[in-house]
Amino acid sequence: MYLSLATRKLMTSFLVAIVLTVTAYAADPNPPSIHSDEGAWPIRRQWTVAETQHFAEWINNIYKYKTKGTVEQRRAKLVRVLTDPEMNLLLNPEFAGEQANPQLPEELMWAMHNIVDCAKLTVSLSSYYSYRRALPWMFSYVRSGGGDLRTAHNNTPIAELNCFTSDTLDYFFRNAVIGFCTGNYRVEPFGENAQESDTVPVAINKQFLIPGAMHYLDGHVLVLADIEKDGELRFLDSTTAASRDIYSFNGLNSVTGIPPKRSNRGGDPYAGCFQGLRIFRYPIAEVDENGKVTKVRRRTDKEMAEFGFSVEQYDKVEEIVTTQHIVENGFKLDSFHEFIMERMRTADSVVPTDFLEHYADELLDLYKMREISVQEAWANVLASGAITYPENDRAENIFTAGGRWGQFSTASSDVEIRNRYYYLADWMDNVIRWYNRRPGFIDTKGLEKYYVEDRGNLARALVGEKYRIFKTKTMEYTNSAGEKVTLSLLDIEKRLYDLSFDPNHAPELRWGAPIGSAEFASAKPIDTPLPSGGVVVFADAFKKQAYYRAVCARETTESYLSNMFTSGFPVRDKYDGQLMKWIRSAPPVPPLISLAPMKQPEPKAEPVKAALNLSKNN
């Protein structure tokens, strides 16, 4: 059969592309070099720095599909993550590598899913990866330093669960996920048995702080999954809620609670320094002269140095506590977040308008996902009756309850979406700080119609642009009558503290429609039942849930309703209010320049006016 020259060239290019694609994965960064026939699974590789980069690529790919994939992928829970060929690169034989172990039995994936939470997510992902790549893996059992493991002032490793000494795959995975909790992270860097700990603090730099690392804050842990070019960290997360969701909207704003080193303290200056950014203490397989595994053990602190073990973050927090700033690259940085971004960024400049546009799309996407949850909850309530509010129960509050409440309430996810919104204001706050401090770093593309020759007027311009962009980004929700109601991001921002998390509330109230308004008229009122057998009528429940609609973190104590206060609690400023401190001190705009913005008052004057009245509206 005759093929034209053009066709032959096209086929050649296609074959070359296939070869290059296969070669890209075929070049295993860490080929098999050892062997074992004992334990939970065969071991064929050692953990190396190259292997941690491979692990980082695997985690980062999951994050990309959790944020940019189909609706099903963005809502994917653990079993879907591990069985979706696009989300799980280890289902690609070339990425899994030579002598990789087969897919994990489905019953073990479901066993992990059924009890997954933030800590068990770290166990599940790392154990699965180690098993598939035929790597050694292990976890510690820890003894409490006093009280609950998850809140003790420190914990001590006392025993281990080792893949090499575990008889079966089933035994290792079931015991790993059951026996591990956030208390495993509460081991001091140089405390008793510290070199048997599961994790170590990591240096803050591009080489070592990579996807697969973690941030442990008091009682909660996040998996680092992406680093943006401006140095922003992005995380994967899960909670104890019965829905067993895996979230992807935690950002750098979640990096809190890192304690300072205390140089003036007697004894160990790093006592209590277990919160912060961490990496696994990768185990090592000892082998005989033939490469056969004879033992799997923890790496020592010295051996972990090549993977990034460092207590620098605690030194830097002490520096900012002592001097009120951190000096890095000749700049005085006001916060540890700025320090992280200074170390991690790859961009030479930032464009606030591009960031704002991109971030608005992300927020809108999160709210569209929320609407799916709202409709599922409402359908369940209509079909099965009202859902009991978890009142006065420390074991199961509105953020941690199981059952139907845990499945259909959005209390936990609403906290995280609010934090994503807050980070937008935090990021712009930093832009304004950088404006004079780092000449040329802030690219004012898209702000040409504004006067931005000083920080105050730059803040005014960023408020105006936020208003303009938020007004153009819209979504729809379905009300109780089955009709579509359009909301812009600006509408949602105004209602930020009115979006009900209570699954018993009609979609109108879930989206903040004022009670008594025309938008609310189609709502079907359903009261919220209590464990005692009583109910709180829907309007009273909405008022008494106001505090929980404004919190910035999931709480661990009892949740209240019937006797809950309705005012007097702090409410964080929204975007306009946070930037108002700059606008108030803005120099007057030169007369010849002020004429242009006056032709477009909507994106400029109205949000500033709204910000001035923010304390009244919140």
What secondary structure letter does DSSP report for 527?
A: P
The confidence score (pLDDT) of residue 592 equals: 55
The C-alpha atoms of residue 575 and residue 27 are separated, in whole angstroms, by: 48
pTM (2 d.p.) = 0.81
Range from 138-152, 222-236, 256-270, 598-612 carrying the lowest mean pLDDT: 598-612
**Beta carbons within 8 Å of 77's beta carbon, 6+ residues apart:** 113, 116, 243, 244, 245, 246
Range from 201-210, 321-330, 518-527 carrying the lowest mean pLDDT: 321-330
For 330-341, write each residue's pLDDT tens digit: 888 888 998 999
Strand locations in 22-123 (E): none
Please, which pLDDT band fits residue 593 given cuts at 50, 70 and 90? low
Beta strand 293-297 pairing with 326-328: unpaired
When mean pLDDT is compared over 296-310, 393-407, 423-437, the highest value belongs to 296-310
The confidence score (pLDDT) of residue 422 equals: 93
Q: Token pair of 32, please?
A: 């098999």
Give the per-residue SS3 of 190-248: CCCCHHHCCEEEECCCCCCCCECEEEEECCEEEEEEEECCCCCEEEEEECCCCCCCEEE
When mean pLDDT is compared over 25-29, 239-243, 417-421, 473-477, the highest value belongs to 473-477
The confidence score (pLDDT) of residue 26 equals: 54
220 and 226 Cβ atoms separated by less than 8 Å: no
Between residues 405 and 330, which one has the greater pLDDT?
405
The confidence score (pLDDT) of residue 135 equals: 98
For 165-200, write each residue's pLDDT tens digit: 999 999 999 999 999 999 999 999 999 999 999 999
**Planar angle of CA 12, 16, 19, nearest 5 degrees:** 140
Q: What are φ and ψ of residue 17, in 5° steps?
A: -60, -40
What secondary structure letter does DSSP report for 612?
A: H
Question: Hey, where are the domains in the chain?
Answer: 33-344, 352-549
The confidence score (pLDDT) of residue 452 equals: 93
Please, which pLDDT band fits residue 239 given cuts at 50, 70 and 90? confident
The C-alpha atoms of residue 453 and residue 408 are separated, in whole angstroms, by: 49
Mean pLDDT of the chain: 90
The C-alpha atoms of residue 128 and residue 82 are separated, in whole angstroms, by: 9
415 and 399 Cβ atoms separated by less than 8 Å: yes
For 95-110, write each residue's pLDDT tens digit: 999 999 999 999 999 9
- With 90 as the cut, is the pLDDT of residue 492 above it? yes
